[in-house]
């Protein structure tokens, strides 16, 4: 592991050999904290980046090292509209990759509802749920190749609250690998805003592969700008970027 320090900042980047090492390191942080606080509030992300980390959490659960019985989870986002029982929904993804394998109670799963009748109202409802937490203990993040975190897409502003968003062409192309055809990728989503992410006590951002190198460079090396939403993490109190050599190649 190689550490890149940003002088007198609250964030750092750690570079690992591969995604297995990243997953192991991330799980170590989460497991340690969960052991000291069974009522842990865990912010979750979907996508490829956290999957090895979820495998590690499942392994730790199966080994009897942690329980999710008193944990509450808060997912970053969900496509809109989408049937939450469909495997392409983010809820479906989370069930397959984590929830179905651990003792997390059903009522402890928090995620925007892709089938809510009114998207704007659903955004407000989810924001009220987040407000009740006062911030999660750890927020797991990936980053889009366009620099998005959650589905806060590049734009002119950082949006604080949960909101309905259009997905960029880049994001639709990137995520088409989870669908039979690009035309099936929803063009909208409900996403936790930047406020919900920034309220987490700690953020762990996982990025691997060359296609993340530019976004990681912009997030860490440019002045914070809504053109790269991940750059807002420079203002976060405690964020660690866990990268492989490819994702770190422009730093």
Catalytic amino acids? 77, 146, 148, 153
- Cα separation of 179 and 62, whole Å? 31
The verdict on 45 binding ligand F6R (CB under 6 A) reads yes
- Cα separation of 102 and 80, whole Å? 27
The verdict on 214 binding ligand F6R (CB under 6 A) reads no
Tokens matching residue 192: 């936790």
* Cβ at position 158, least distance to ligand F6R in Å: 15
- Cα separation of 73 and 82, whole Å? 20
The verdict on 187 binding ligand F6R (CB under 6 A) reads no
- Identify the residue among 114, 150, 193, 196 touching ligand F6R (CB under 6 A): 150
- Identify the residue among 13, 40, 43, 49 touching ligand F6R (CB under 6 A): 49
93 to 132: interface string for ligand F6R, x by CB under 6 A: ----------------------------------------
Tokens matching residue 94: 């989370």
The verdict on 144 binding ligand F6R (CB under 6 A) reads yes
What are the backbone angles phi and psi of residue 99, rounded to the nearest 5°? -60, -35
Q: Which is nearer to ligand F6R, 94 or 102 (CB)?
A: 94
Q: Half-sphere exposure of 109 toward its Cβ, with a 13 Å CA cutoff?
A: 21
- Cα separation of 43 and 163, whole Å? 17
Measured in residues, the chain has a length of: 251
The verdict on 149 binding ligand F6R (CB under 6 A) reads yes
CA 214 to chain centroid, in Å, comes to 18
* Cβ at position 7, least distance to ligand F6R in Å: 28
Catalog residues that contact ligand F6R under the rule CB under 6 A: 45-49, 76-77, 142-144, 148-151
């Amino acid at each position: 592991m190689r550490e890149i320090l940003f002088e007198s900042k609250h964030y750092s980047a750690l570079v690992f050999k591969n995604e297995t090492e990243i997953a192991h390191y991330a799980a170590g942080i989460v497991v340690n904290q969960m052991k000291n606080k069974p009522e842990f509030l865990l912010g979750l992300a979907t996508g490829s980046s956290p999957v090895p980390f979820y495998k590690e959490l499942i392994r730790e659960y199966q080994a009897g090292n942690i329980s999710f019985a008193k944990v509450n989870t808060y997912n970053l986002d969900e496509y809109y509209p989408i049937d939450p029982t469909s495997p392409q929904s983010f809820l479906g993804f989370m069930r397959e990759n984590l929830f179905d394998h651990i003792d997390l109670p059903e009522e402890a799963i928090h995620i925007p509802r892709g089938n809510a009748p009114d998207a704007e109202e659903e955004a407000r409802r989810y924001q009220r749920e987040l407000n009740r937490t006062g911030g999660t203990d750890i927020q797991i993040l990936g980053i889009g190749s366009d620099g998005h975190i959650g589905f806060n897409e590049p734009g002119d502003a950082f949006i604080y609250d949960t909101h309905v968003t259009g997905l960029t062409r880049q994001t639709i192309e990137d995520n088409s690998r989870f669908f039979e055809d690009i035309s099936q990728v929803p063009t909208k989503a409900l996403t936790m805003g930047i406020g919900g992410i920034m309220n987490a006590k700690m953020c762990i951002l996982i990025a691997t592969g060359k296609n993340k190198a530019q976004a990681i460079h912009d997030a860490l090396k440019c002045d914070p700008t809504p053109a790269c939403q991940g750059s807002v993490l420079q203002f976060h109190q405690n964020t660690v970027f866990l990268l492989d050599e490819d994702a770190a190649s422009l730093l």
